[in-house]
Amino acid sequence: MIAATPEVAKERRKPQKINVRILRQDAPGKPQYWERHQVDYEPDMNVISVLQKVAAQSKTSDGSAVAPVSWDCGCLEEVCGSCTMVINGRVRQSCSALVDRLLEQAPEEIELRPMNKFPVVRDLMVDRSRLFRALQRVKAWVPVDGYYDMGAGPKISRDDQERDYPLSQCMSCGCCLDACPQFTKIELQRQPNESEDDLKKRRNEAYDEGFVGPHAISQAMLFNSNPVGKNMADERLEALMAPGGIQACGNAQNCVSVCPKQIPLTTSIARAGRAVTVYALKKIFDR
Amino acid sequence: MTSAQPSSSIGSFLHRNDFLVRRLHSLSGLVPVGAYMTVHLLVNASILNGAAAFQKNVNAIHDLGAILPVVEWTFIFLPIIFHAVVGIWIASSGKSNTAQYSFTGNRRYSMQRLTGYLAFIFIFVHVFHLHGWFHAQWWLSNVAEPLGMAQFRPYSAASTLAAAMTGFVWPIFYAAGIIACCYHLANGIWTAGITWGVWLTPAAQKRATVACTVFGVALTVVGLSALGGVKTTNIKEAEAVETAIYESRVQTGEIKPNEHKRAGDHHEPKLPVPEIGQVIEAAPISGNN
């Protein structure tokens, strides 16, 4: 390393081709299968640009023509969360997964799988609606409505700002849910003659029974700290104590380990634990 | 958030009362089960001071007399059964993924469940082995004793314990059980601290990990030393000490003569199976169940 200039060292590592192994699925409920692809190496690629090449050639590494691989992406700067997938065994955003780094860790191939805990729509695309349903469950918003000028809001202390800002960085990507051993997959199949609305209703009922997840617990804490959001603090705590609420947390702490935004999710979980402890005691003794 | 509930089964009841059940599960693990286990292992370790010291502690427990079964069922057996049953339900609600994510916290999560299952098996066998679970005569003479269970006699504490621990199968089983229980309690205190909201930040949780580790290691040392103390007990000498204590206590009127709480060979010869102890009175064994 010392003898070689950085360029020379980089040159040496550069492969001609990149091998990609993709776990594909043709439609919801269909079996998954592995497929190998090979694309030309270019400097400074990310997994999205690899997937673009894979889709463009639509040909496996042994030359057979296949349907283009599907995936989801949006912002390409790790703020929308839509390109989240399992890359080399770890859930993360494919836009910020840089090929050169991945090849340093595992030079022979890059392994791409859809997220484990969400229903697969096709290939690497998943349906993350349960994640957003969980945010509805805990009312993760500030209840302000109307177009009139409400005047200046209350002052938020520097300490509170510093505690809350990291929580506001959540982009609802679902990494924390995918890594959580307590968050298990819920996937419903459409029944014969079932309308889209009926399926959605049935799905939401199933989602509402499941674990709400670290992201929603953290957002509940964020909005319970907000001077206006506080108005609904008790409703959020009720939601956190409902079936599938905070009590389903098993303290594995994978959520905080995989969060791409380094959000202190386990601190939020412990704060929520304390808040519901106090709230439950109040409910028993204050009435 | 109301939603359609599965109409039947205990699982549905547990799910509807998820929060209460899991918080009671957490609480029962600390008090009374965890607190009891700590006291239990400390009392056991007094066997290191000899059969007399151990006998004195066991006597103190059995002096509760007629109330003892009530105490042991209310504060020990029922909470353990509750903690175990709910614990199995909780463990089955998750799906371990340490193969994919080998973070320390994740491995602790899996270990907590593994040691929970081990502790479950250990405790249920251990109580059967030494205590017998029930002291109804038909149970003891038809089930427990023919299986070689219900070995402990409170007025012959050290000697019956040492006799039950001969060989190496039982001692290894007990050593494994003690280690599993100590891990489960120490790590359980740490997770309970998060559940109840005692330690919030990663720094505080790290300090709590250190404290829980020290506690867990210390308790394991205490528990394994007690086992070592049992293994090094001379049965004949212990019996002599226990007989002397028993006779003096009977003489002073402290206790009524009760051969069923003593080792088998003190039984009246007219009993049909003289080597098997028969505990009929409502004062079963608790100190080393």
- pLDDT tens-digit series, residues A204-246: 999 999 999 999 999 999 999 999 899 999 999 999 999 999 9
B-interface mutation test, from A211, A251, A268, A284, most B Cβ less than 10 A away: A251
A-interface mutation test, from B190, B200, B201, B212, most A Cβ less than 10 A away: B200
Its CATH architecture, for the domain A128-285, is Orthogonal Bundle (1.10)
DSSP state of B140: I
Classify domain A6-122 at the CATH topology level.
Ubiquitin-like (UB roll) (3.10.20)
Q: How far does B236 lie from chain A, in Å, by closest CA?
A: 49
Sorted by where each begins, the domain ranges of chain B are: 27-266
For residue B288, how many other CB atoms are within 10 A of its CB?
27
- A4, pLDDT greater than 80: no
In tens, the pLDDT along A105-115 reads 999 999 999 99
- State whether residue A14 is helix, strand or coil: coil
Q: How far does B86 lie from chain A, in Å, by closest CA?
A: 12
Among B15, B18, B200, select the one facing A270 at the smallest CB separation: B200
Interface confidence, given as ipTM, is: 0.91
CATH 3.10.20.30 residue ranges in chain A? 6-122
Phi, psi of A20 (to 5 degrees): -130, 130
Among A181, A252, A267, select the one facing B200 at the smallest CB separation: A267
| Beta partners for residue A120, in sequence order | A126
Q: Which of A184, A238, A237 is nearest to A213 (CA)?
A: A184
CATH 1.10.1060.10 residue ranges in chain A? 128-285
List chain B residues with CB under 8 Å of A241.
19
With beta carbons less than 8 A apart as the criterion, state whether B211 and B205 touch: no
Q: What pTM was estimated for this model as a whole?
A: 0.90
- Residue A166 tokens read as 């990291």
Q: How far does B220 lie from chain A, in Å, by closest CA?
A: 23
Q: Residues in chain B whose beta carbon is closer than 8 A to a beta carbon of chain A?
A: 1, 3-4, 15-16, 18-19, 22-23, 90, 93-97, 100-101, 103, 105-106, 108-110, 190-191, 194-202, 205
Its CATH architecture, for the domain B27-266, is Up-down Bundle (1.20)
Confidence of residue B2 (pLDDT cuts 50, 70, 90): very low
Among B4, B19, B199, select the one facing A247 at the smallest CB separation: B19
pLDDT (0 to 100) of residue A149:
83
- Residue B204 tokens read as 């505080």
Torsion from C-alpha of A241, A244, A250, A255, nearest 10 degrees: -100
